[in-house]
Structure 1
C-alpha cells in the first residue's frame, strides 16, 4: 500500500487523470502552473514525432495557470490542461478548420464548449489537428504508439495528444466515427454523447443532423467530470451499479468486415462481463438498421455542397480532391426525396432500437474493424461508428488489448438516447472488470 502511494506521488503530473490532478491541486501538492509545465515539457519531448497540435498557446496557458494559482478554485476543471479540435472556434487562438483557406482565421468568440470549459477553470493548451473540415483528407498527426500508423480521424490531434500524455482532456467531433474511432486507435477513453447534448455553437458545421461534439480522456471518471462542465450542470460522479448490467452483444450486419482482433476483443469482453455477473446475450439489430449505413452517408453527402458552399464558390482550388469528390460532387447528385427518406429512416431506426432497452441496459459492439491500419493517407474505416451516430445514441470506447502489431484494440459501449449518465456508470463498471 505504501509503495502504491509512493509511486502515485512520484508520477509525472502529465500522466495523471483530471480527477487525480484535482486532488493534488486541492491538497496543495501541485500547482496549475506546474501541471501546465509538465504537459509543455511532454509536448517538447514528443510532438515532433506525433504532430498533434495545429497551434500551441504556450505563454497564454502559463499565464492562465498563474492566475488560477493566485485565486480560489474556479470550477470543475480548475487548472486542467485541455486541447480543442481545430474545427471548434476559440477567440484568442487561430481556428483553421484543417484547411489552407482559413490558415489566418481568428474567430471573434469562443465556441460554447470552449467557453464553458474555460469558465470551469480549464486551461486551453492549444488547438489540435483535424482533417480538412472534419472530413476525410488527413492532417499530419501520427499514432503515438507507432508513427507509421494512422491515429484515426477526423479528431486525430485530440486523440493523439491525450494518448501521448500531452493533454489531460480534449474535445473532438463526430459526424461518422470521428471521436470513437481515434480513441480506439490511440487506446484511450472516447465519449460521443447523445446528439445535441454538447452545444454545437461555434463548431464549423459538416452535417448538422449528425455533427456531435465529443470528449477524450484517460478515465471514465474524467469523462463524467468533463461532461458536467461542457453541459454547465452539476457534477455527479460515476455511480457504483446496484447490479451487473444486461448487455446485448451486437456485431451488426457488418460482422464479416471485422478483423480477427476486433472480433476477439468483443468476445473477450463479453465473456469477462458474463463472468462478473452480467446477463449477456447476442442480438440482431432490428430491420431498419440494415439500411442505415447508407442513410448516414446520404445525409452526410447531401449537406456537403451546402455546408461548404462559400468555400466551393470562392476557393475551389484550395479544397482537397477527396472533399470535392466525396462531398461536393456526391452531394450534388442526391435529390430532395432521397434526403427526406434518409431523415425519416433515422426516425424509424431510433424508435426501433430504443425499444430494445426495455430488456437491455447497454449494447456491446466494436469501435473499429481492429487496430489502426498502417499509413497516414487514410484515417481508417468508420463502418462501426456510422450507425450509432445516425441513431443519435451515446457511445463510449474503452481500451482493452493489443492487436497483432502491438497497437490498441478496444470495445464500444452504446447506451440509450439521453441516458448518458447511466452509460458512463456502466462504462466505469466495465473498465473495472476488464482491468
Structure 2
C-alpha cells in the first residue's frame, strides 16, 4: 500500500515531486487495474494540486458527483456516461486541500448489495465488500493512497476490513453529503480509506479543517469490549481477531472491560432496516417509477418490498433511534471508557456472490458515531480481518487516537 504520510514526507523533502506522485498512481492504475477493476473511470490527464494533500492521488466512489468524470452510480443502464455539471462538496474540499482526483471507484449499484465487478486484492474469489468496493480495493492494491467511500449500513468499515486497509466513518455530517446520490438521508455518511489510521487522520484534518492529527504518545485507551450480541454471532475468524486485539491491548497497558450494550441499542439495531429502506424508497422514487426494468435484482427487489413501508411505520421507529442516540451520549461517561472495541465485520471476506453482512455496523451508523477500522490482523488462511474502534458522536479525534494506538500494538 501507499502511505499518504510517507508520500507527503518525500514530497516535502524534495525526494519526490507532487506531479511524479500523481503520475506513479496513474501508471499503477494503467498496469494493474485491468484485472482488479477498482476504477469505473480514470482521468489520465489529472495533474497535481497544491496544499496539504498535494501529490495525493484520490479515488472517489462513483455515487459522488464529479464535473470532470462520469458519475454512473454503479448502474450504467440508467446513468451510463452521465456527467454532472459540478463537483460534490466533498470533492471540492479535497481539491482545495491539494488532492488530485485520478478516477471514480467502482460501487455496487446505488450503493446497495448487487456486487460490483471489483476483485479483492488478497484473493480474487473473495468479495472486496460493498458498497465502497473499488475504494477499498484501490487503496489495498497500492493504486492510490487515499479514497472516499460512503456508509449507509457498513459500506466503509466492512470493505476496509475485508481488504485490510484503515478507514474512518466520521461522525454523521462531519463531511458534507451535498452532491452525493442519496440512499438514506439520516444515515448516509462519507468516509475515508488509507493505508494507516494516521493517514486517515491527516487526510480528515486536511479535508474537514478540523484538528485530527495524532500525538506522538496518545496514551493507552480505556476500551469497552462490546460484542453486540443482539446482532448475532461473529464467525470464528472475526471472534479470534477481536479477542486477539483485546489481549494485545491489555498486555500493552490498555483497560479492556467487556460490556453488554443496553436495551436502547438493541432496539435501534432492529429498526435500522426500516429507516434505511423507507428512505431509499423515497430517494430512488424516480428510478423506480421510470426505470424499474433497468435496476439490478437486489436493489430492485428492495424497492419492490419497500413500497409497503408507510410513513407512519417510519415515524414510529424514529423514536427508537433518538433514544439510542441519547443513551450513547451517556454510555461512555457512565462506563469510564474512551472507545468501544467491536467487530468490523463478522469475519474475513466471503465469496464474491455477496458483499458481506453489515450487521455489526448498522447500529453504529444509525448512532452517527465515529468508527475506525483498525487493520493488521489476519485469519488462519491469511485474509485480513479488521476490528472496529468507536468513540462518542463528535469525538472523531478521540476515535482516531484510540485506533492508532491499537493499530501500532497489533502490527508490532
TM class by shorter-chain length? over 0.9
1: distance between equivalents of 2:253 and 2:395?
Answer: 22
1:335 equivalent among 310, 332, 339 = 310
Partner of 1:87: 63
1:271 is aligned to 247
Contact 1:288 1:349 in 2 (8 A): yes
Give the secondary-structure state (helix, strand or coil) at the position aligned to 2:386: strand
1:345 to 320, 323, 327: 320
Find the counterpart in structure 2 of residue 121 from structure 1.
98
Equivalent residue, structure 2, for 1:10: none
Match for residue 282 of structure 1 among 234, 252, 258? 258
2:165 to 172, 188, 194: 188
Aligned equivalents of 2:85, 2:321: Cα separation in 1: 35
Query: 1:31-53: per-residue Cα shift (whole Å, max 9, x none)?
Result: 12221222222223321221000
Whole-angstrom distance in 2 between the partners of 1:152 and 1:52:
12
- Of 177, 195, 202, the match for 1:200: 177
Aligned to 2:80: 103
Over aligned residues, Cα RMSD in angstroms? 1.4
Aligned-pair distance for 1:321?
A: 2.1
1:397 aligns with 373
SS of residue in 1 equivalent to 2:361: helix
Gaps of 5+ in 2: none
Work out whether residues 265 and 400 of structure 1, in 8 Å CA contact, stay in contact via their aligned partners in 2. Answer: no
What is the aligned partner in structure 1 of residue 37 from structure 2?
A: 51
Q: What is the CA-CA distance between 1:387 and the residue it aligns to?
A: 0.9
User: Secondary structure, in 3 states, of the residue corresponding to 2:122?
Assistant: coil
Note closer, same or farther for the CA distance 1:350–1:433 as it changes in structure 2 (3 Å cut).
same
Q: How big is each residue's C-alpha offset from its partner over 1:195-220, in whole Å with a ceiling of 9 and x where there is no partner? A: 11000000000000000000000111
Distance 1:135 1:354 in 2: 30
Q: Which runs of 5+ in 1 are unaligned?
A: 1-14, 69-73
| CA distance in 1 between partners of 2:82 and 2:250 (Å) | 52
Shift in Å, 1:254: 4.4
Deviates more, 1:329-338 or 1:161-170: 329-338
Taking structure 2 as the reference length, the TM-score comes to 0.96
What's the secondary structure of 1:229's corresponding residue? Answer: helix
Aligned-partner Cα distance in 1 for 2:71–2:207: 19
CA offset at residue 310 of structure 1? 1.0
Distance in 1 of aligned mates of 2:195 and 2:63: 22
Other-structure match for 1:29: 15
Task: Output the CA distance in 1 between the equivalents of 2:359 and 2:288.
Answer: 27
1:36-94 deviations in whole A, cap 9, x for unaligned?
222222223321221000001112x1xx23xx4xxxxx211111101000000001110
Partner of 1:253: 229
Does structure 2 conserve the Cα–Cα contact (< 8 Å) formed by 1:39 and 1:167? yes
Match of 1:315 in 2: 291
Could you say if the C-alpha distance between residues 300 and 234 of structure 1 is closer, same or farther in structure 2, counting changes exceeding 3 Å?
A: closer
- Mapped partners of 1:312, 1:355: distance in 2: 41
8 Å Cα contact 2:152/2:365 also seen in 1: yes
Residue equivalent to 1:12: none
Give yes or no for contact 1:302–1:330 (8 Å, CA) kept in 2. no
The alignment's TM-score, normalised by the length of structure 1, stands at 0.91
Structure 2 CA distance for aligned equivalents of residues 320 and 95 of structure 1:
17
